[in-house]
Structure 1
């Protein structure tokens, strides 16, 4: 890398921020692209991709040329592909295909494939990417069939909630909230019929609902959040194996309300972990990550809205953006990179039913 290019990279302050939303009940128009300034946390709307039904979760291809979206519409759910103009933020529709499962709620992409988690359908589906960025029909569909004990009916069947590549990209982690299980699949990106084959399964405590997982940047540790009780399981990771090292809560011992844990992320320096709860909590908790991977609680603060579904840390590490599904906004917190603590920046993005927040590179 030349000195000039290194300097320009270090000085980059403007990034694309894509926001996936629920278009029903009508407060959102589709997928929103903003410019985000990492010095000021000021956001400017660049474009809106309209006429897309419930593009709740998004993924940007590694080369930044394409965007993929789920279309969460029950049994008629689909997956959409778009060409992405980085400069203008404009998304150009390419095609959409059957998601092969009701209510897809997570999507991921690499250089070869797009993989979708179907929540109500209890399945995951793998699609190949064509040269123009469009999607083939599903080339592999895996149906989970178990259930668990939740008395409120949320575990009467399998509910695949999240899919995430391991840092070495050799495996895919699949959280099944309905079964209280986390699956580890071997991943062969150029495989024909079977790109995914089962390696192992990890059981969570019955009735806890494993939802989202995240890894430290060095790939040594992973943290799994459980929706029903807000507990975090910490794991050591190596060679496709997750070894439990800690279980820690995210709400006060005397908290009796609904928790509905939502999202979990590690800061880019690997020092801090953040986790959101919805329900009656509407909070975000901060933890210090020790050298052993164990977590030490720092603080819990209000997210200043209702239904903090997804959140993200901006590329500079100075801000945390929390999307609120029910108060129709994104609250932007300042993040102290030394202490990990969050304070309100006063900045907001007013947008209908935000569900996922994705920064471009």
Structure 2
């Protein structure tokens, strides 16, 4: 009898493990000021079928456009993008139910925060309109203290449409070895690399190097290859991607490649960029009049080779995410209020429409709980 009971218990554990490998939480950050979203959405995503099930809506959260899950999967941090009154919010996260419980919020120390990251010690925010980045200490209970360091950029660049009249910090990103922080400033046409001292009480970040991009290009988002050897920078204004060899806080340019046809005359508005977990493919989205996603293969040298450009099948593609299985790629459309799910060929990198959609108001950020 004991042997049978042990066998049943083992089978139950095996079944639970299998479920964990096929079902993940997908958190979606949105703009609530459109009247079409209620806050932060948690869906269950099945990596076998790409089917999604709504699990929880965290309501009464203002414009939680970007999210970050803590490394221990116990907390979620969100920007509240509300102009000069912008804040950063902390939530306790229940991965079993998908529920978020509000802990606290603090001043973001800059208007319109548009990106957020978190490690075991700190939460760091990029303030777009404020042209600043701010570092907040994580408390033991997951809440966040007032900012312990604020860095204000003050430069500008040449964009004729006026988007570079002042600094616009657009992204903060830890280096693969976690020794540095990369910061793209769209308004200045600069990429800053800061030394990162997680345990410091005040000077967490100090300048290592500053890299200039082409004037008027608008550096927006950056992605590293999984091995940490290469970095790829997406430019908002021209949709181009700059490839770099990365080493110890230094970027060495190796390539610049476009993502639209040479005769494309519309507005591009490059948006997001990611590398597949196997390091073989890179993906980049454009908004504006393009509304496309481009696929590139990554050679062993880090050089990109064009594979495919397809419509994102919606308007205003912002953040996108490859699911934990690598079989699907999800694109959040801010203006058509949906997430389009593509099948992803892991051998060729190519994308095809899965037919699956998530209807959600003004989605901006897609974050998988990968634990």
Task: Name the TM-score class by shorter chain.
Answer: over 0.9
Q: Structure 2 CA distance, aligned partners of 1:260 and 1:274?
A: 15
Within the candidate set 4, 26, 29, 1:20 is matched to: 29
Q: Structure 2 CA distance, aligned partners of 1:10 and 1:324?
A: 29
Q: CA deviation at 1:10?
A: 9.7
- Matching of residues 342-353 of structure 1 within 5 Å: 342-353=351-362
Q: CA deviation at 1:8?
A: 3.3
Within the candidate set 217, 221, 225, 2:226 is matched to: 217
- Matching of residues 277-356 of structure 1 within 5 Å: 277-356=286-365
Are 2:135 and 1:126 equivalent residues in the alignment? yes
Aligned to 1:186: 195
* Per-residue CA distance 1:151-186 (angstroms, 9 max, x = gap): 101000000000000000000000000000000000
Aligned to 1:232: 241
Structure 2 regions of 5+ residues with no counterpart?
Answer: 1-12
Q: Structure 2 CA distance, aligned partners of 1:293 and 1:21?
A: 34
Q: Structure 1 CA distance, aligned partners of 2:18 and 2:297?
A: 29
Aligned to 1:94: 103
Runs of 4+ in 1 over 4 A off after TM superposition: none
Q: What SS does the corresponding residue of 1:12 show, helix, strand or coil?
A: helix
Q: Give the number of equivalent residue pairs.
A: 358
Structure 1 regions of 5+ residues with no counterpart?
Answer: none
- Matching of residues 135-146 of structure 1 within 5 Å: 135-146=144-155
Q: CA deviation at 1:9?
A: 6.7
Q: What SS does the corresponding residue of 2:84 show, helix, strand or coil?
A: helix
TM-score by length of 2: 0.95
Q: CA deviation at 1:25?
A: 1.5
Are 2:213 and 1:208 equivalent residues in the alignment? no
Are 2:163 and 1:165 equivalent residues in the alignment? no
Are 2:30 and 1:8 equivalent residues in the alignment? no
* Per-residue CA distance 1:95-153 (angstroms, 9 max, x = gap): 00000000000000000000000000000000000000000000000000000000101
Superposition CA RMSD, Å = 1.3
Structure 2 CA distance for partners of 1:66 and 1:22, relative to 1, 3 Å: same
Q: Structure 2 CA distance, aligned partners of 1:227 and 1:9?
A: 40
Are 2:66 and 1:57 equivalent residues in the alignment? yes
Structure showing greater Rg: 2
* Per-residue CA distance 1:300-356 (angstroms, 9 max, x = gap): 000000000110000000000000000000000000000000000000000000000
Q: CA deviation at 1:240?
A: 1.1
Q: What SS does the corresponding residue of 2:145 show, helix, strand or coil?
A: strand
Within the candidate set 102, 116, 126, 1:107 is matched to: 116
Q: Structure 2 CA distance, aligned partners of 1:253 and 1:207?
A: 18
Q: Structure 1 CA distance, aligned partners of 2:120 and 2:56?
A: 25
